[in-house]
Amino acid sequence: MEPKTFCSLAVRLTGTTVKGVGGSELSLLSQILLDDRREIDHSQMNELLLLVNKDRMGRPMFRFFFCDACRVSQLEQAVERYQKVAMLRYGNFVFAYRMLSRIFDEDQFLSELGSLCIEGDGSVAAYSARAEKLLEVENIPRNDTSLVGYLSATQIVAEAGRSKLLRVAAKSAGVGTSWEGFEDVIRELSKPEEHLAVVGMIRNYQSRYPGRTPEEFSTYVAEIAPEVEGRHARLQEVQGIASRNQDVYLTWDHMDVYFATSMRKTWEFSDLYDFISGLMNRPEIQELKVRYFDPTQSYTGNRVDKGLVESLMLKRAKCTVYSVQDTDTLGKDSELAATLAQGKPVIAYVPAKSESDRTAELLQENPQTVLERLRFVLNADDRFMANLSAEERTFVAEFRALPDFAHTTVFRSVQERHAVEHFHRQHGSEMERLCRLIAVSENRIYDSRANTLKRFHPLGIQVNLATGVANGVMVVRSVAECAALLRSILTDTMEFDVVEDSSMWYLRERISGSYFRVVTKNAKISNCFWNFYLRG
């Protein structure tokens, strides 16, 4: 090993520059380090450090990082191991060396390091030894998961009320009533805020079926009433199950994973259900008996209580899996930031599927979902329309002009749903081409989101409020990657590489390729930050 190489290792070890080392010291270092096979023990290591004007280290530190003896050729590997631990535990090298080098008791040294996510043996004994749950959540089927959402629930309840109001109004109006008379009856029976919504439904019906009478409209309402009431009854049933599930989550003695997400549209609930099911049913996760909080299976009627429950789950869970969907929301981003602020890992899952696989998935979806996905990519992908042929632009315009289904509920959208399904039947051959265009666009959008979150997003690196350690989000693109990374987090077997550039030291997690810890080389920022943070 060259003397200058050892000097650089001393800088990496202590976090401070080497000063006052001249020709005589370099000559002595050259003699000592000439043979890469030479063993260096604790006392010899301290002599080397003193040669380059660095403080000595206690035996516990030497044994932990360098073992009882270390060959010259292994010094760099040992220093890199130290850097990993220093970045994980302290977030800087100066304080880490000052703290660890001055501990002379083995037990005190290990206590100071605490639990490190790289020191596990990969054993699942701690999980497999857990007792079975006394209570288990009751699974809410995929197609019903949107019923735990506030927006869908509000619309379904409103539809049930409007359906009942219209049937009462039809009975009160009697046969032969004009549209004006029918609306007068509705005005008398409804509250002001409901009146406008119900009249709007009537106007929509009239525009679609000019010349039809109030009696025909009443017949239509009576025909769809069972569907509306059935959906309302199922809503109440699902909310009851989800409320009981929440009580189960609250009583579990263990909580390992929290899933952070934002769900507004029906397909967002379905996507999250598929992702969580696919992830937690992988064999490498199943054998751990992991306990996790699934937002598609839980319901809280009061928003304050919901916030309290989710805050408790964030506090208890060992890590958060952040599902990157179409939109970023305050709630989801807050959950990500709150996890990082506790110094816990966050996995951000950004889906990446092949064009053919995603096209096949979209073709299996109902037409409303395809329409919603089209509208999403039109808003989110500037290149979508520019890449279309003239014929494709015409087809997209026709499909885009169909009624909007921000949320697929029953009463409001029965006629519109029929219109979309009719379009789907008429244009079946073109649907595959449309789905393929959407799939390509989605990939562009999610590639951009992954890159932003991994490299540019201000939430990508957050400071642990207790320690000041900079904590980074880890971005994965597949369920398999997510499962491997989640297992490594839970079993404390994460693997890292130390990366350096002109401005920063990075601790890069190997599965995701993301920066999990950072140490700035900006002397002013580092000095001021740690002066205030450590003394505070």
Last residue of a domain, one of 210, 241, 272: 241
User: Is 125 among the domain residues?
Assistant: no
User: Is 532 among the domain residues?
Assistant: no
Helices first, then strands: H and E counts in the chain? 23, 12
Report the b/e string of 474-483 with b at 16+ CB within 10 A. bbbbebebbb
Same domain for 228 and 274, yes or no, is no
User: Is 351 among the domain residues?
Assistant: yes
Same domain for 184 and 291, yes or no, is no
User: Is 497 among the domain residues?
Assistant: no
Same domain for 386 and 463, yes or no, is yes
514 vs 334, higher pLDDT: 514
Sequence letter at residue 358: R
Helix (H, G, I), strand (E, B) or coil at 69: strand
Last residue of a domain, one of 181, 207, 241: 241
By mean pLDDT, which of 190-199, 223-232, 399-408 is the weakest?
399-408
Sequence-distant contacts of 107-110: CB under 8 A, at least 24 apart? 108/60, 109/58, 109/60, 109/61, 109/64, 110/60
Residue 141's pLDDT is what? 95
Distances (CA, A) of 351 to 130, 260, 281, 322, 479: 32, 15, 18, 12, 8
Same domain for 201 and 292, yes or no, is no
User: Is 310 among the domain residues?
Assistant: yes
Number of domains in the chain: 3
Same domain for 308 and 345, yes or no, is yes
- Quick one: which of 241, 247, 266 has its CA closest to 149? 266
The Cα 527–Cα 511 span in angstroms is 32
In contact, 339 and 275? CB cutoff 8 Å: no
Last residue of a domain, one of 217, 241, 265: 241
Torsion of the alpha carbons at 80, 86, 89 and 90, rounded to the nearest 10: -160
Residue 113's pLDDT is what? 92
Residue 412's pLDDT is what? 45
Same domain for 56 and 180, yes or no, is no
pLDDT in tens, 71-102: 999 999 999 999 999 999 999 999 999 999 99
Same domain for 451 and 324, yes or no, is yes
Write out 512-534 in H/E/C secondary structure.
CCCEEEEEECCHHHHHHHHHHHH
Pairing mode, if any, of strands 346-349 and 474-476? Answer: parallel
What is the domain extent for residue 179?
142-241
Same domain for 410 and 330, yes or no, is yes
Same domain for 326 and 429, yes or no, is yes
- Quick one: which of 215, 117, 232 has its CA closest to 169? 215
Same domain for 224 and 348, yes or no, is no
By mean pLDDT, which of 109-123, 162-176, 398-412, 428-442 is the weakest?
398-412
User: Is 520 among the domain residues?
Assistant: no
Residue 328's pLDDT is what? 61
Residue 424's pLDDT is what? 64
Q: What is the pTM of this model?
A: 0.86
Question: pLDDT category, 244, cuts 50, 70, 90?
Answer: very high
The Cα 273–Cα 402 span in angstroms is 28
Can you tell me the mean pLDDT for 510-521?
94
Same domain for 281 and 205, yes or no, is no
